[in-house]
């Protein structure tokens, strides 16, 4: 995405494995550098594709150096890491964007517009949502240690929580059951209405299922990834980030959004550990 542009140029690549950095840089007409500090010397923005705890350590360094940051979700492995990253990025004021990929697809904007019209006509009374995947059954690059340890909650959860929260209004409390490494369900309460979310990265399905539907006494709105072209997200994301860096324009998902999602993820985790409903402002 970054090498394709046209608003961006892939200035350099750094990775823990120098050979991997050289191979990737060569494939996209760029150069490899030997350290994160060297990367900061040759770019004006950094895109992170690293485990959440590594991002929580590195991205604040980039922000303090005045570099714009493209951040992965979740911001960190826990709320402490996420809050530290968000506070540093916000304090420096550097442009930033959160790669909630699904937010940048045209169909998502249309769905959220429909949901907003429903809320304007009366309260949303219910939400039904699921993000189900089988990547831990299939192995490969997706089965990195942090994904295996934390399961669907930290990997798939930010996408689903973001869409449910945006469509039905802020999530005020959660009650979770199950296991994030196998199958997790979360009951949510909003200012108006309730929701039911399902998350799994260990179900035997041919392709990912991602679906959100909101209901009211005036109608319903549904969003489903079945049949959509996911590649349509990338040009929108790239252009929006470049606009933020060059002109200070707003983005639809940033580090503050990432922190708000991490608060919900933390509440879900506490609900599982403590076997109770957790209110978000506790």
* 129 and 91 together in one domain: no
Q: Is 267 a domain residue?
A: no
Percent helix, strand, coil in the chain, to 5, is: 45, 20, 35
What pLDDT does residue 111 have? 97
Return the pLDDT at 141. 59
Check which CATH number belongs to the domain holding 148 and give it. Answer: 3.30.360.10
Q: Could you tell me if 110 and 202 lie in one domain?
A: yes
What phi and psi, each to the nearest 5 degrees, are found at residue 35? -155, 165
Q: Is 115 left (phi over 0), alpha (psi -120 to 50) or beta?
A: alpha
Asked whether residue 149 falls in the same domain as residue 188, the answer is yes
Residue 245 lies in a domain: yes
Helix (H, G, I), strand (E, B) or coil at 187: strand
Both tokens assigned to 209: 């299922």
Q: Token pair 């823990």 is at which residue? A: 16
Measured in residues, the chain has a length of: 282
Asked whether residue 273 is assigned to any structural domain, the reply reads: no
Report d(CA 37, CA 58) in Å as an integer: 10
CATH of the domain at 238: 3.40.50.720
Residues 83, 135, single domain; the answer is: no
Query: How far, in Å, CA of 251 to CA of 98, rounded?
Result: 9
Handedness of CA 228, 234, 236, 237 (dihedral sign): positive
Give the total number of structural domains in the chain: 2
Residue 158 lies in a domain: yes
Output the tens digit of pLDDT for each of the chain's 282 residues: 999 999 999 999 999 999 999 999 999 999 999 999 999 999 999 999 999 999 999 999 999 999 999 999 999 999 999 999 999 999 999 999 999 999 999 999 999 999 999 999 999 999 999 999 998 888 765 678 999 999 999 999 999 999 999 999 999 999 999 999 999 999 999 999 999 999 999 999 988 999 999 999 999 999 999 888 989 999 999 999 999 999 999 999 999 999 999 999 999 999 999 999 999 997
Tell me which residue range forms the domain holding 93.
Answer: 18-101+234-259
Same domain, 189 and 212: yes
pLDDT value at residue 138: 81
Show Cβ contacts of residue 202 under 8 Å, excluding neighbours closer than 6 positions.
Answer: 134, 136, 137, 151, 152, 181, 182, 183
* Beta-strand pair 194-200/183-190: antiparallel
pTM: 0.96
Model pLDDT, residue 127 = 98
199: in domain:
yes
Residues 164 and 52 in one domain: no
| Claim to verify: residue 115 and residue 188 sit in the same structural domain | yes
């Amino acid at each position: 995405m970054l090498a394709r542009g046209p608003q961006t140029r892939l200035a350099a690549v750094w990775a823990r494995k120098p050979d991997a950095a050289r191979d990737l840089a060569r494939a996209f007409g760029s150069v490899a550098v030997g350290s994160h500090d060297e990367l900061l010397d040759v770019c004006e923005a950094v895109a992170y594709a690293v485990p959440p705890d590594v991002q929580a350590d590195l991205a604040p360094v980039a922000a303090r150096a005045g570099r714009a940051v493209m951040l992965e979700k979740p911001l960190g492995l826990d709320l402490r890491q996420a809050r530290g990253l968000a506070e540093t990025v916000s304090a420096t004021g550097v442009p930033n964007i959160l790669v909630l990929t699904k937010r940048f697809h045209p169909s998502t904007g249309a769905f959220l517009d429909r949901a907003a019209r429903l809320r304007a006509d009366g309260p949303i009374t219910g939400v039904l949502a699921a993000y189900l995947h089988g990547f831990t059954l299939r192995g490969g690059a997706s089965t990195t240690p942090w994904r295996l340890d934390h399961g669907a909650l930290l990997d798939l959860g930010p996408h689903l929580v973001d869409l449910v929260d945006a469509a039905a209004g802020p999530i005020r409390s959660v009650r979770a059951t199950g296991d994030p490494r196998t199958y997790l369900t979360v009951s949510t309460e909003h200012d108006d209405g309730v929701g039911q979310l399902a998350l799994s990265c260990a179900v035997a399905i041919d392709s990912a299922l991602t679906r959100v539907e909101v209901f009211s006494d005036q109608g319903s709105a549904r969003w489903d990834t079945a049949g959509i072209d996911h590649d349509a997200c990338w040009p929108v994301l790239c252009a929006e980030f470049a606009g933020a860096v060059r002109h200070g324009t707003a983005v639809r998902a940033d580090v503050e959004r990432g922190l708000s999602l991490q608060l919900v993820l933390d509440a879900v985790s506490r609900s599982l550990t403590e076997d109770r409903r957790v209110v978000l402002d506790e």
